[in-house]
Structure 1
Amino acid sequence: MKNKLLSLDISRQPTDTTCGPTSLHAVYNFFDVHLPLQEVISSIEYLDDGGTLAVMLGIDALKKGFNAEIITFNLRVFDPSWFKEADINLVDKLKQQLKYKTSPKFRQASKAYIQFLSLGGVIHYKTLNKELLEHYLLKNVPILTGLSATYLYNEKREIGDPVYFDDIKGIPSGHFVVLNGIDLKNGTVKILDPLHANPFEKQNYSVNIDHLICAILLGVITYDANLLIIDKKPTCEL
């Protein structure tokens, strides 16, 4: 098979910090769980300094009865050696790490991962390549990913509230999008982007696979760099 395209739509994110829940809302709709966008936005945990993390989106999905899997490339939080043994206790490792690392953002992220695992979420450490993306999309599963918007868009870094671009004072910014298609013949991935005013000037566009992979890996700067896989309809009534 040379390509795959999943049919789903995405809303416009209402604020600079709601790309994550807006992307999650699109995935819920794909699985026929139709909730008001504002309800999804209100149900998500947010970082103290603004925005959210994929693991916090995963926690919401688990609470709604979905299965949730995170494939992480985030070496800020996870050590590669933790995934070499099948019986490793990630919760225990994360708790031990908290004794030595005191950054508020790091601690909030670590505690979210502990909650995610305690709720039945799964975390894997794999090689990010086109085969991995293809694997999930061919199973009719959209991929929610946290990545570097600065690299994805090739734009200036950002600063301020409201946000503005500044190549000197700015810092790299993170973002969430949904991957809903792959074209191996042309080497592209289809992206659903909740940011309406993006440089591609539309909310559904294609980018080169290698460029996307770099953007995902560089998401580590903003504590993401992962794929969030949500699948199966929830077993509870919503």
Structure 2
Amino acid sequence: SQEFSAFAKQWDFVHTTTSPYYAQSNGLAEKTVQTAKRILTKAREEGKDPYLSILEHRNAPVDGFKSPAQLLMSRRLRSILPITGKLLQPQTCKPSAVQRKREQCQIKQKSYYDRSAKSLITLEHGARIYAQQNNGQWKPAVVSSALEDGRSYIIRNTDGQEYRRNRKHLMDVKGQNVAVSAQTTHPVCVADGHLPCPLQHTKRAFFSLKEHPQVRLFKDNVASDKLDIASL
């Protein structure tokens, strides 16, 4: 918002924004909010003190790392759970070791994610595209400009309004004659369940059952030659 932009300028820090409706790019913050909501909701349902629930969460180790309390204060916090005095003694955590271990985990996660991921082609200025809406529908638009991160674009819809969207929500329609204007819009259909296409090309997306007969992958039921004792 304009108010937060003025706040960032006043305190001289860089506020990096992401594309709307793409929570994956801000997964850590989204997960933190989800965890906090779950803790507060469960504490309210059970009638317990929410601060004690938050305290136990801070004492719990996270994904092979030490607990948030240990990373922040180099010691465990005393809670309602019984614990020996020896475990409450301060133990300094080396920030470099924690950072190195965290980077190794991120590299491992990236390697698993890249097994099924692929890079999308870059969209040029003025390219005709389809943009996915919040309700899942696809509507025609035009690429106005590309941002520095290479994954976000400023697009202009048929009403002349500009939005920022991630490349995941944009589909290139190169080779198709799609006009984008404020007067006419092109309805969009879903040919194969997830890929949108212009309505005028819908017939090409579906094939004729006469031209492509159905292929059965299972054998037809054949009467057995064995003796039917029950009929004797």
TM-score bracket for this pair, using the shorter chain length = under 0.3
Instruction: Specify which structure has the bigger relative contact order, considering alpha-carbon pairs within 8 angstroms and separated by 6 or more residues.
Output: 1
TM-score (norm 2): 0.22
Higher share of residues assigned strand: 1
TM-score (norm 1): 0.22
Structure with bigger gyration radius = 2
